[in-house]
Structure 1
Amino acid sequence: MYIEYKENDGLIGSARIGRVRFSRSGQSLHYAGRTFQTLKGAGFKSNYFDVETGDHYWISGCRKDGRDALYSTTAAIDEDVREEYWLCIRELPQNVSIRSVKVLSKY
């Protein structure tokens, strides 16, 4: 998944590509020891919040074309998903050693 922190409700924040685990209900997800709950459409340029801190995030599935972000930025790729990201999602095996990616805007 593409995970972008919306620092101070900003438009662009630090971003990562990593593996998340969804709750049974699908209303929350877990990543890096944190729990995120859906904003159900109530967020400004965000769709989840960290239940512990209240910080807002944009979290979405990774796209083959790399247009994961609302606004272009650079995302670090977690080591445990790097190979899968480049081989299965982006289908760019020549990039498998690259640890970050320029993420383009959806628009």
Structure 2
Amino acid sequence: MAERVMYLQLKTGYNTDRGPAWIARVRFTRSWRTAYVYGRTLARVTGTARANFDSNFCDVDTGETFWMCGPKRDRTDGRYTSRQPLVDEDAREPYEAFLDGSPLPGRESG
């Protein structure tokens, strides 16, 4: 299973970019359509099945929606807010190295 350091934000129940956000290690299936983080199973949502334009993953058990993407070096992960995400301890070292110019683990070639 592939593992990546990702930006993750809860969208359900919050206005645009107001939900809690994290930098976390996320595991993905081979197809990249299912993600596992914080004991949750998140399924990728695309096309007409998408709950709203502001999310790309949905918790299969609760229906909560999330936005997940790779982190940005300029720390502008939230599109309409400057609020910084919480950084999980197990993701801190590779995330800080990434901010200093190193590639993220698993993304060395792009």
TM range (shorter): 0.7 to 0.9
Identity of aligned residues (%): 37
| Per-residue Cα deviation, 1:20-79 (whole angstroms, up to 9, x for no partner) | 001122111111111111111423311111111000101000111212122222210000
1:32 maps to 38
Match of 1:13, as an amino acid?
G
Q: TM-score, normalised by structure 1?
A: 0.77
2:61 maps to 52
Mark the runs of 5 or more structure 2 residues left unpaired by the alignment: 1-5, 102-110
Distance in 2 of aligned mates of 1:83 and 1:6: 26
Q: TM-score, normalised by structure 2?
A: 0.75
Mark the runs of 5 or more structure 1 residues left unpaired by the alignment: 93-107
> Which of 76, 89, 107 is 1:79 aligned to?
89
Between Structure 1 and Structure 2, how many residues are aligned? 91
Match of 1:6, as an amino acid?
K
1:16 maps to 22
Distance in 1 of aligned mates of 2:85 and 2:27: 19
Distance in 1 of aligned mates of 2:14 and 2:54: 8
